[in-house]
Structures are given as C-alpha cells and as structure tokens.
Amino acid sequence: MDATAAKIFKDLKARQFKPVYVLQGEETYYIDRIASYIENHVLAEHEKGFNQVILYGKDAPVSSILTQARRFPMMAERQVVIVREAQDIPDLQKDPGMRLLLDYLQRPVPSTVLVLCHKHKTLDKRKELGKKIEQLAESAAFSKLYENKLPAFVEEYAAEKALAIDDQAVRLLCEYVGNDLNRLANEIDKVAMNVTGSITAEHVMHHVGISREYNIFELRKALISRDLAAAAKIVHYFEANPKRNPAMPMIAYFYSFFSKALVASQVADKSENGLVNALKINRYAVRDYSTALRQFDTTALEHIVGWVREADLKLKGVNAGAQTDGQIMKEFVTRVVLG
C-alpha cells in the first residue's frame, strides 16, 4: 500500500481523526478508499442521518461547503462532510474561494471531519492554496503506479482477501488491466467471489473473461514474432466479438507497448535488469520487450508508433473513410508484421 495512505489508515483505525483531509492526485484508488472508510467508520449508523453530508464539487461552491463544515454535530461527538469530485468546485481556484478555504483551514471546526476528494490532478502549487495545503491539512497526493510496482499491489490486495495468487495470475492481471488500480481491485474482487485459497491464471482467464487463445497478449506475441497467420487469426476473432474485444483499448495498449519498446531501443543497457530499470516495467513483461528489440530496430519502431497513432485517429473517425474497426486493426497488424 502507498506509504501515505497506510499512515492515514493507521490513524483512522486508531480513531485519530484530522479536521481536514485533502486527498488529491492522478491515482483515484486511494482517494476513493480513504473517503469510503471515513464515510463508513467515523460515525455510528444512528449518527449519520444528522451528521454526515455528501456533496459534489460541481454543485458546491466553497461557501456552501464551509457552511456545512461550521455546523455543530447533533447528538454526536463529530460530524463528517465529504466533498466528492472536489476538482469541480467552481471557485476553488479563484481568489475569493481560495481565501475562504484558507481562512477555514487556519481555524477549522474541531468537531468536523471535512474530506475533499480532488481527483485526477493536484492543486496548483503556484497558488497560495496549493503551496500551503500540506501545512494546514492532512494532505495526500497519489500518483499512478509504475508498472514494476503493480505485482506487489496485486499480491497485497489478494492477501487482504485472504487469497494467495500465483505469478502467472499476477502477470495476467497486470498486463490485461494495466495501472488502473480501481479496475485491478475490481477484477480481483470478481475472481475472489468465485475462488477460495489461491488464485491461478486459469481463474483469472475464466472470471475476468480472457480467452486462452484469443487475447491481447497472444496478439502481442504474434506481432513481436512477426507471425502474420497467428496475428490475423486473433484479429479476425476480435472482429467477430467486438463487445468483448473493442479496438480502442487494444490500440492504446499497443501504443504503450511500442512506445516503451522505442525507448528501450535507445537504452545502453538492454539486459533484463537494464530494461526493467529504464522502462519501470515489471519483470513479467521484460522478455517481450527483448523479443521486440531483436525483431525491430529503432527506425522500425518509430514507424510502428506512427501506425498506432494513425490507427487511433481512424478509430476516432479521422480519415477512416468506410473502414470498420476490424479493418483498421487488420491493416495495423499487417503493417507491423510485414514492415
């Protein structure tokens, strides 16, 4: 678990509550999880009716939020005010709103637990609020995990569910889902509902919905091996099952893979350790990057990244003509394999 999140949870479980929490950043998983814990555990169930308020940023200017925060609890020791999507508070980045919030942060109501869930970005540190927030509130900023940190997250989350998980299952989840921690947790939850003891790759394939033969990993393997027959067979299957295999996420996945491969082609140390450190990838994926580097030089990888971008634009309707998603994917695959 993220070290800052772990410290916050430790204090919350010890019922050591801060008057203001500002949870921000690109990674929303820990923001949601901390806010959910506060929502569910700070107040007893019978206290929530009068003392727990959930607001949404787009509907709540700073003055409205602070009106709620300055109320005193009714028949309870404290009240909770949670502002979801706080990045949408209309006047949060304007001087009057910032001044109101800064004034409150300097003299918060001790019986209120105010939680601001500021998602997808952090407060602007060029402005006074962004500069002072860490001094005035329990502030935590969460960044997206690098790929090489994902296996530890998956193993830890599975352990929380009292489940072991084998290396192949970890690899499948990390590569299929990527670094979207909310989605990773949801997929593990899905498997955990149907498994006891230990999660295997078979469990992941069955419950997450990954075909053994026709999946994005097998397509990647076919592309970097320049096996046109295998790649065409997989893309044909995807075309016939578009709901389970939409083209846009696949193109995004290949953009990530081949962009990293392009970077790897210019790394001095191309050993497995060198690539893991340079690309911040997990060890499960490094062999495929090594294979790609044997098949494609830097110029070829530059062309492939260009073709990925072209396919992405076509899938969004730019210069696609009458081409279907399946035809766009077939064209991309053929270009990669044949060069």
List the domains of the chain with CATH numbers.
3-142 (3.40.50.300), 149-209 (1.10.8.60), 216-338 (1.20.272.10)
- Residue 180, both tokens: 């979207």
Question: Sign of the CA dihedral 257, 258, 260, 264?
Answer: positive
Residue type at 297? D
Long-range contact pairs involving 225-234 (C-beta distance under 8 Å, separation at least 24): 225/291, 225/295, 226/295, 226/336, 226/337, 226/338, 227/337, 228/333, 228/334, 228/337, 228/338, 231/333, 231/336, 231/337, 232/330, 232/333, 232/334
Phi-psi region of 280 (alpha: psi -120 to 50; beta: other; left: phi over 0): left
* Residues 24 and 119 sit within 8 Å (Cβ to Cβ): yes
Please report the sign of the dihedral spanned by the C-alpha atoms of residue 156, residue 162, residue 167, residue 173. negative
Q: Alpha-carbon distance 233 to 236, whole Å?
A: 5
pLDDT of residue 213: 78
Strand order in 79-84's β-sheet? 52-56, 79-84, 112-119, 20-25, 138-142
Amino acid making up residue 117: C
Question: What is the reported pLDDT for 284?
Answer: 79
- Residues 187, 214 contacting (CB under 8 angstroms): no
Partnered with residue 113 across adjacent β-strands are: 80
Query: Any idea what DSSP says for residue 337?
Result: H
Helices 286-295, 247-264: inter-axial angle, 10-degree rounding: 70
Q: What is the pLDDT of residue 94?
A: 92
pLDDT for res 258: 95
Report the C-alpha gap between 90 and 57 in whole angstroms.
Answer: 7
Distance CA 54, CA 300 (A): 53
Asked if 305 and 264 count as a contact pair (C-beta separation under 8 A), the reply is no
Q: What is the greatest pairwise CA distance in the chain?
A: 73
Residue 210 to residue 200: CA distance in whole angstroms? 13
d(Cα 284, Cα 276) in Å, to the nearest integer?
10
pLDDT the model gives residue 215:
87
Kindly list the averaged pLDDT for each block of 10 residues, start to end, along the chain of length 339: 94 97 97 98 96 97 97 96 97 94 97 97 93 95 92 94 92 86 94 91 86 85 94 92 87 93 93 90 86 95 96 92 92 93
Tokens of 75: 């028949």
According to DSSP, the residues that pair with 112 across neighbouring strands are 79
